[in-house]
Amino acid sequence: MPTHGHGLRIGTSGWSYPGGRGTWNGVFYPAKEARPRGFDELEFYARVFDTVEVNSTFYGQPRAAVTAKWAERTPPQFEFAVKLYQKFTHPSMFIEAVASSAPGASDQALAAAGDIRQADVDEFKAGVEPLAAAGKLGPLLVQFPPSFTASPDGVDYLGWLLRTFADYRLAVELRHKTWSDQGAETSALLEAYGAAWVLIDEPKFRFSIRQNWRAPDAPSTAALAYVRFHGRNAREWWTHAAAEDRYNYLYSPEELRPMAEAVGGLAATVKKAYLFFNNHFSAQGVANAVQLRRQLGGGDPAPLPPALVEKFPWLGEPAT
């Protein structure tokens, strides 16, 4: 396992990218035709990293039978940060998904489908329970869209969600600048529930949130810090041929170094810090996660895949 300390975990957002131009096959994982029988991507991933951020639970409620298998296929100290189901954070996206699966549904039926019920909450909690029982459940990631603002309704809803999932460690990703414009109030609300305010690195636009990464002013709690690296592909952030193109970005050592210094200082002030790279196109996030781990003083827990080093030759060189 990584040697940078039990309280600091570095990984990627998701572990399975089998299709598209940005596939991980043949870069991080063996190409399909070169895989041994029974090859397990998650087991392979867990040789290199001690945590992963789960994206699939955003698109569908977690299933206990599936998460139990995740727990079985990973080492004892491995942790899963689990993204909250989109119905809780992206109601419009959820309703669009329902509409596409039920063409002809009335507006009234779609609106009713979007209503959050206790059954939705119970279903999510039941789905992640096997991970909690195995001691492998990290924070729940509550990811809001850029359109979610710090309006009175927005603040009330965030408070409800924090109360509803108060039994879990929570990390909340807010993207609209209204939240940082009233940063003291936002911090106080999150801190009341021990929730981390997610630090995000991404292209900045007029209404993007503004954050200070340097401790002690960085948004975190005494227990938890959570950082997401989305890449800086501003040109294709809003307009792209394929969704994966948004995350086609490789951080340079010069870009990572100041962030490594900032999160290193932040990690020293909290009990646990989770850092995830979401620039997943063609396993660039894998390379940057290894790179950042080295910059923070951690080694490589297992030999890196030769194809990864071939694509990113500097991974075969001493850390700089």
Assess whether pLDDT exceeds 80 at residue 94. no
Q: What are phi and psi of 75, to 5 degrees?
A: -65, 165
According to the model, what pLDDT value does residue 4 have? Answer: 43
DSSP per-residue letters across 216-227:
TTSS--SSEEEE
Domain boundaries, the chain: 8-316
Q: Is the pLDDT of residue 155 over 70?
A: yes
In this prediction, residue 264 has a pLDDT band, given cuts at 50, 70 and 90, of: confident
Q: Is the pLDDT of residue 92 over 70?
A: no
Q: Which of 12-21, 67-76, 242-251, 258-267 has the lowest mean pLDDT?
A: 258-267
Model confidence at 99: pLDDT above 70: no
**pLDDT > 90? residue 93:** no
| The predicted structure's pLDDT at residue 109 | 43
pLDDT value of position 96? 53
Categorize the per-residue pLDDT at 5 as very low, low, confident or very high, splitting at 50, 70 and 90: very low
* Distance in angstroms (rounded) separating the CA atoms of residues 302 and 292: 16
CA distance 50 to 189: 30
pLDDT confidence of 7, banded at 50, 70, 90?
confident
Q: How far, in Å, are 162, 163, 265 from residue 192 at the CA level?
A: 9, 10, 23
Lowest mean pLDDT among 61-65, 88-92, 142-146, 162-166: 88-92
pLDDT of residue 194 exceeding 80: yes
Quote the CA–CA distance of 81 and 52 in Å, as a whole number: 6
The pLDDT value given to residue 111: 46
Greatest CA span in the chain, whole angstroms?
A: 60
pTM confidence score: 0.90
Structure tokens at 224: 């938890």
Q: Helix or strand or coil: residue 190?
A: helix
215-219, 224-228, 259-263, 313-317: which is most confident: 224-228
pLDDT at 216 over 90: no
Q: Does the pLDDT of residue 276 top 80, yes or no?
A: yes
**What does the mean pLDDT of the chain come to?**
88
Q: Using H for helix, E for strand and C for coil, what is the string for 242-298?
A: CHHHHHCCCCCHHHHHHHHHHHHHHHCCCCEEEEEECCCHHHHHHHHHHHHHHHCCC
Surface-to-core class of residue 225, CB atoms within 10 Å of its CB (0-12 exposed, 13-18 middle, 19+ buried) = buried
Judged against a pLDDT cut of 50, whether residue 113 lies above it is answered with no
Strand segments (E) across 26-168: 51-54, 79-83, 137-143
Q: Which CATH architecture has domain 8-316?
A: Alpha-Beta Barrel (3.20)
CB atoms within 10 A of CB 159: 14
Q: How confident is the model at residue 135 (pLDDT cuts 50, 70, 90)?
A: very high
What whole-number distance in Å separates Cα of residue 6 and Cα of residue 118? 35
